[in-house]
Amino acid sequence: MNDIQMVLGKQRTYFHTGATRDLDFRMEKLNTLKKYIQKNEKYILEALWSDLHKSEFEAYATEIGIILEEINFVMKHLRSWSKTKKVRTPITHFLSSSYIYSEPYGVSLIISPWNYPFQLTMAPLIGSIAAGNCAMLKPSKYSPKTTEIIIKIITECFSEEFVSVVEPYGGRESIQALLEEEFDYIFFTGSVHVGKVVMEKASKHLTPVTLELGGKSPCIVDSDSDIKLAAKRIAWGKFLNAGQTCVAPDYLLVHKSVKKEFLNELMDCIKEFFGEDPSKSNDFPRIVNERQFDRLIGLLDKGHIVTGGEYNKQERYIAPTIIENITWEDPIMLNEIFGPIFPIIEFEDLEQVIKIVNSKPKPLALYFFSNNKKHQERIIKMISYGGGCINDTVIHVASTYAPFGGVGASGMGSYHGKGSFDLFSHKKSLIKKSNIIDIKVRYAPYNDKIKLLRKLMK
């Protein structure tokens, strides 16, 4: 870790020069990042195909395009966000003015995963740069080709003392060693298990953290939903990136009265999207590595496979698979699936669904399909989750206008758009006091001043 300590020292020294606080500097660096992403688009697409078999359309939509949109949005609004905000002052501080200053933390550490390796590295980096921080990136070793292009772009765009990349050798152990160093902010995207390690290590230095984790995100189909449209939107969200999406519908709760119709529509959608044999489709991704492949195959032992179930270990291919007749005690229902396997559970009472979901750890996302507005409001108000959609899946994470993040076991902190700027900024409050007069009521001896105080502070 000597190299890490050396680079970290350079970044801390550079940050204290004040260069990154300059608004024009930040705008210039964001614009530079945008240009180099556009310049390297072909290589990013090739890398994502190599690592995950992502089609050009899916890779651009979920990895490149979403980042270009984010940069454009941030650059459009950054001057406004960065302005000092004047706020009201209590009467008890007469002849004072109150302000909120947004200032960078210092050096941020961004640890990103393999499932959306480009997007989930660049999105938090945009927030870090926008707020005026230096940054150290730790991409995943499990998406090696994408990590290579990330290193190429970062080294061409930025000096090492501003933004650097930690070589992604080693897994959990290298992250633990990295976390022994003192950073000013840590942003982690990944599993709950490693998230706990990150938080524990950060506590040593009292470093603030954002944890973007995951969990078992439920998808609920009510009896009065538009079944055909629901099936299409759910199939898209579930099998995007072969299910390797932190906000993918993890399991389906479908009303008993529409279960058969829904399953038929869902199977039709799979055929429509990927053909009779999805293994021959250029639009269906692959499992990232053999370890994840073996884990997923182990989940096929319980329940009845309605469709799918085919796999090819050499290609790391698992077909879009639907399973029913499973229980909450089966392995597939104990942890996040993170793959193209979709367990189906029927229900009759929506209140029972609410109780079941609330008995589990708080999910990162929740999706509810219903045309009943009372039922919609009931689900929104009674279940805690990071974010979600009514009558759609996944799309809430792509909005620059609304922050995205988890709650409870699914994470803490939220970002995207202004949320990213706020996340990587310390909000420093300040009162500027006038010297024209000095009201003596606050000074001892107090005598009967309590009467006046009660009038002012009631």
* Catalytic residue set: 212, 246
Burial 419-456 (b: 16+ CB within 10 A, else e): bbbbbbbeeeeeeeeeeeeeeeeeeeeeeeeeeeeeee
| CA angle at 286 for the pair 284 and 291, rounded to the nearest 5° | 160
Distances (CA, A) of 44 to 37, 41, 70, 162, 365: 8, 5, 17, 23, 28
C-alpha–C-alpha distance, residues 131 and 29, integer Å: 12
H/E segment holding residue 444: none
C-alpha–C-alpha distance, residues 409 and 188, integer Å: 14
DSSP character at residue 410: G
First vs last C-alpha separation in the chain = 56
**DSSP string over 290-357:** HHHHHHHHGGGSSSEEEE---EETTTTEE--EEEES--TTSGGGTS---SSEEEEEEES-HHHHHHHH
H/E segment holding residue 133: none
C-alpha–C-alpha distance, residues 152 and 146, integer Å: 10
Exposed (0-12), middle (13-18) or buried (19+): which is 351, by Cβ within 10 Å? exposed
Give the list of residues 6+ apart from residue 140 with CB closer than 8 angstroms, or none: 112, 113, 114, 117, 147, 168
Mark out the alpha helices in 133-191 (DSSP H runs): 144-157, 172-178
On whether the CB atoms of residues 130 and 22 are closer than 8 A, the answer is: no
Tokens in use for 331?
């392995």
C-alpha–C-alpha distance, residues 134 and 119, integer Å: 19
